[in-house]
């Protein structure tokens, strides 16, 4: 039985993909208390002893809730030790590698066997423009390419691809498909890569700005530090209540009320089994003044609860 490993913070697309691949359910590896780190070696050793077949590790580069990043370099070392495939889910966070702060991220991404990246997230492209990068692209052809001369289905028999020509049906399960890459190519040609780099860095600056404002206000509490332009926080009850259920209900109430105003969207998520407010500051049109106004709206809404 094949075993695929990820943390409980992995995106829901991971178990879906594992099921589609026929590998059952992924193993949710517990994280070390106080850190977003999988205790991978212990789990793999236990599975090997049980006669199971460890196959792959899916590491997350930017979790949905907090933007946390799995320790890719450490996981890559374990994967080399055990002969496991290392896949990085960089749907959101891989764009960080474009920024001036992204040197370590670039080093980490280079250790993967495969990487997913969604330009329709932090590169601001229209849906849908998902992307997969593979260290050895010949593996895609070995998996998906059909030997046309071995098939006689009455369908067309095109000539072999010319040198440098790409047939995308050789690289994935889909055959008839739209030219998704045109959106990304056109954006890069129009705005240039530097514009996207500036936009990513702007989002990082906004999350730092928001965190500083939250940390400085007695009515707010930062619950996770900014990571990949995502941060979480909560409102402190005005009556000083410390009851967890009461505090959790306050966050949901504030989120619902703020959303109802139509002025801002501050949703909730769960961090350490508590309800918190979440901000994702990647919109390049957002300004520090917008962040300040949103936090003021959150505070005024909490005071009215």
Would you say residue 183 has pLDDT above 70?
yes
Q: What is the pLDDT of residue 286?
A: 98
- 151/88: higher pLDDT: 88
- Residue 232: Cβ within 10 Å count: 27
Beta carbons within 8 Å of 67's beta carbon, 6+ residues apart? 92, 93, 224, 226, 227, 228, 229, 230, 231
Establish how many alpha carbons lie within 13 A of residue 49's alpha carbon, considering only the half-sphere containing its beta carbon.
6
Q: What is the pLDDT of residue 50?
A: 96
Would you say residue 174 has pLDDT above 90?
no
Q: What is the pLDDT of residue 147?
A: 66
Stated length of the chain: 305
Residues 208 and 225: their CA atoms lie apart, in Å, by 9
Residues 239 and 249: their CA atoms lie apart, in Å, by 14
Would you say residue 205 has pLDDT above 90?
yes
Would you say residue 55 has pLDDT above 90?
yes
When the pLDDT of each residue in the chain is averaged and rounded to a whole number, the result is 91
pLDDT band at 214; cut points 50, 70, 90: very high
Q: What is the pLDDT of residue 199?
A: 98
Query: How large a percentage of the chain has pLDDT more than 90?
Result: 74
Would you say residue 150 has pLDDT above 60?
no
Would you say residue 218 has pLDDT above 70?
yes
> Over the stretch 39-52, which tens digit does the pLDDT of each residue have?
889 999 999 999 99
CA dihedral 272, 275, 276, 277 (to 10 degrees): 140
Q: Which of these ranges, 95-99, 161-165, 283-287, has the smallest mean pLDDT?
A: 161-165
Q: Which residue has the tokens 């917008």?
A: 290
- Residue 176: Cβ within 10 Å count: 5
Do 277 and 297 form a contact (C-beta atoms < 8 A)? no
Would you say residue 53 has pLDDT above 90?
yes
Q: What is the pLDDT of residue 32?
A: 58
Measured in Å, how far apart are the chain's first and last C-alpha atoms?
52
Q: What is the mean pLDDT of residues 181-189?
A: 95
Is the pTM higher than 0.95? no
- In three-state form (DSSP H/G/I as H, E/B as E, the rest C), the secondary structure along 169-182 is HHCCCCCCCCCCHH
pLDDT band at 149; cut points 50, 70, 90: low
Q: What is the pLDDT of residue 36?
A: 57
Q: What is the pLDDT of residue 23?
A: 85
Six-digit token pair at 31?
A: 């994280």
Residues 6 and 9: their CA atoms lie apart, in Å, by 8
3-class DSSP assignment, residue 230: strand
pLDDT band at 37; cut points 50, 70, 90: low
The domains of the chain, with CATH numbers, are 2-180 (3.40.640.10), 195-303 (3.90.1150.170)
Buried/exposed 23-35: b ≥16 CB within 10 Å, e otherwise: beebbbbebeeee
Do 82 and 54 form a contact (C-beta atoms < 8 A)? yes
Residues 52 and 110: their CA atoms lie apart, in Å, by 29
Six-digit token pair at 163?
A: 């040198």
Would you say residue 56 has pLDDT above 90?
yes
DSSP 77-138: HHHHHHT-EEEEE-TTGGGGGGSTT-HHHHHHHTT-SEEEE-TTTTT-PPS---EEEES-TH
- 220/169: higher pLDDT: 220
pLDDT band at 155; cut points 50, 70, 90: low
> Over the stretch 258-303, which tens digit does the pLDDT of each residue have?
999 999 999 999 998 999 999 999 999 999 999 999 999 999 999 9
pLDDT band at 117; cut points 50, 70, 90: very high
Do 208 and 226 form a contact (C-beta atoms < 8 A)? yes
Q: What is the pLDDT of residue 24?
A: 86
């Amino acid at each position: 039985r094949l075993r695929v490993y990820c943390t409980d913070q992995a995106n829901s697309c991971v178990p879906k993909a594992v099921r589609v691949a026929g590998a059952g359910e992924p193993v949710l590896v517990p994280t070390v208390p106080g850190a977003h780190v999988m205790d991978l070696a212990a789990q793999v050793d236990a599975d090997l002893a049980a006669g199971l077949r460890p196959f792959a590790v899916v590491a997350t580069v930017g979790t949905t809730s907090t933007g946390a990043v799995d320790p890719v370099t450490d996981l890559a070392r374990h994967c080399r030790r055990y002969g496991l495939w290392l896949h990085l889910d960089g749907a959101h966070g891989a764009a960080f590698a474009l920024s001036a702060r992204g040197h370590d991220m670039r080093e980490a991404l280079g250790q993967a066997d495969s990487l997913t990246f969604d330009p329709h997230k932090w590169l601001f492209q229209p849906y849908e423009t998902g992307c997969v990068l593979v260290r050895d692209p010949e593996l895609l052809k070995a998996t998906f390419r059909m030997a046309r001369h071995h098939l006689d289905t009455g369908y067309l028999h095109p000539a072999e691809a010319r040198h440098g020509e790409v047939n995308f049906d050789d690289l994935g399960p889909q055959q008839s498909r739209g030219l998704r890459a045109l959106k990304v190519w056109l954006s890069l040609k129009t705005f240039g890569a530097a514009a996207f780099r500036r936009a990513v860095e702007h989002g990082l600056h906004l999350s730092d700005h928001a965190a500083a404002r939250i940390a400085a206000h007695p009515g707010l509490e930062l619950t996770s530090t900014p990571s990949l332009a995502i941060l979480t926080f909560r409102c402190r009850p005005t009556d000083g209540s410390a009851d967890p259920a009461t505090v959790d209900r306050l966050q949901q109430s504030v989120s619902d009320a703020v959303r109802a105003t139509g002025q801002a969207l501050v949703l909730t998520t769960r961090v350490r089994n508590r309800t918190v407010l979440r901000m994702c500051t990647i919109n390049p049109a957002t300004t520090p003044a917008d962040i300040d106004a949103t936090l003021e709206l959150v505070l005024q809404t909490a005071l009215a609860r």
